[in-house]
Amino acid sequence: MHTTELYFEAHITIEPSERQCLLAVIGQDWGFRPASFLQKKNGKFIPDDFMTGRSKSYEDLHDRAMDCVEELQYQGFTVTRYKIENTLLDVRL
C-alpha cells in the first residue's frame, strides 16, 4: 500500500453543467467535494466544474476517483481530466 505523510489529493475536472445537485450527490457518494472556477483559455475566462478528494492511501483515492469518474460519465457528465497529486507541503495562513 502506498501512503504519504500528509495526503494525496485527486481532482476531477468536468465540463460545466446545470445539474449541480446531481454533481454534489455523486461527489458525496465517492468522498469528493464539488467546486467551480474560472480558467483562462486563449485569453478568455471559461467556467469549469471540478471535484476534489483526499486520502492518505493512494490506492483508496485512486479507486474512489475511478469509480467517481465512471459514475459521472454514466450520468452524462463530460469528464475532461483527472489527476492525483501527492501533497508535500500544506500551509494555511
- In this predicted structure, the answer to whether residue 6 has a pLDDT above a threshold of 90 is yes
pLDDT in tens, 50-75: 999 999 999 999 999 999 999 999 99
Residue 37 CA to residue 28 CA, distance in Å, equals: 19
Residue 34 CA to residue 29 CA, distance in Å, equals: 12
Residue 4 CA to residue 29 CA, distance in Å, equals: 24
- Identify the sign of the CA torsion 67, 29, 20, 48: negative
Residue-level pLDDT at 90: 94
Which cell goes with 13? 475536472
Residue type (1 letter), 76: G
Residue 61 in contact with residue 10, Cβ under 8 Å? Answer: yes
CATH numbers and ranges of domains, the chain: 3-87 (3.30.70.100)
pLDDT in tens, 15-55: 988 899 999 999 999 999 998 888 888 898 888 899 999 99
